[in-house]
Structure 1
Amino acid sequence: MGDLAERRLQTVRDHMRLECENDWDAVIATFAHPRYEMYGSGAVFDGEEAVRRYFAASRTPFPDQGNEIIAIAHDGDTVLVEFWLTGTHLGPLRLPTGTVEPTGRSFRVRMAASFEFAPGSDRIVCERPYFDQGAVARALGLA
């Protein structure tokens, strides 16, 4: 594996660790251009301001949200990651049916994400998490 591939893999590992640490400035620094495309909900957060709003909204119900990498691979300009998403429901959670007050319950759901890089770069241009939108609600006993 080449130096660029190793740097990209490390960028993704750092990015995911920094998300767990809630170090949003450092997470933003892993991007050439901050962008999340959420497969499952269809939401797109493009640009630093939108991505920071996503961080705030996703951590309100789950301030301890974390991830545990299961597998990671590099192919072309993409890094693919399979991981466990974890968290505890400690804040209000907005669902299509309304807002659910904190239950204190924890979840652990399997997910995958792709991280796209510009050719020749070790900075992310887009993260695409792939998930079942109802998985967390089911894991919390809310669906």
Structure 2
Amino acid sequence: MSNPLNDARLQTVRDHMALECVHDWDAVIGTFAHPRYEMHGSGLVYDGEEAVRGYFAASRAAFPDLSNEIIAIAAAGDTVLVEFWLQGTHLGPLQAAGRTFAPTGRTFRVRMAATFEFAPGSDKIVCERPYTSADAKLRALGLL
């Protein structure tokens, strides 16, 4: 049976992820009640619009074609769970593991998961938490 709030939340996450792929940062910010990313692999937190926009710029400097492909998506309470492929081409300097890796021109594709947290009764995101190992991209690029 369909739940209108869950349906709206699922659509918000689908839109959010699609908008990231086309770099429509204003629209991505619009999917949040308050922009916040908590990166499970690195432990970094980007809280607030300025910090989140900085994360977008930094992550796309190394991978300007960074994109995602949803594998599975489900709503559970105030959370939407997503499994997806993250992929991109290493075309700019990559800051990782305390080092800077020069562009290799190589592509990567890693399987990831993320949770999108919503305030009760709302279809606006309050926090995205991507889950991956800290070195997944480096391993996929053959840099480790």
How would you bin the TM-score normalised by the shorter chain? over 0.9
Q: 2:118 touches 2:127 (CA, 8 Å); kept in 1?
A: yes
Letter in 2 for 1:59: R
Aligned amino acid, residue 119 of structure 2: A
Q: Which consecutive aligned stretches of 4+ in structure 1 deviate over 6 angstroms post-superposition? A: none
- For structure 2, the residue ranges without an aligned partner over 5 or more in a row are none
Once the 2 structures are TM-superposed, how far is the Cα of residue 97 of structure 1 from its aligned partner? Answer: 4.5
SS of 2:62's equivalent in the other structure is coil
Q: How many residues align?
A: 143
- Code of the residue aligned with 1:63 in structure 2: it is P
Cα deviation for residue 53 of structure 1 reads 0.4
Which position in structure 2 is the counterpart of 1:65?
66
Equivalent position of 1:138 in the other structure: 139
Please, what TM-score do these two structures have when normalized by structure 2? Answer: 0.97
Unaligned runs of 5+ in 1: none
Q: Residues of 1 paired with 2:42 and 2:65: CA distance?
A: 22
- Deviation track 1:91-138 (CA, whole Å, cap 9, x = no partner) reads 011123421111100000000000000000000000000011111001
What's the TM-score, normalizing by structure 1?
0.98
Residue equivalent to 2:31:
30
1:93 maps to a residue whose letter is L
Following the alignment from structure 1 to structure 2, what is the Cα–Cα distance between the partners of residues 62 and 97? 18
Q: Which amino acid letter does the alignment assign opposite residue 8 of structure 1?
A: R
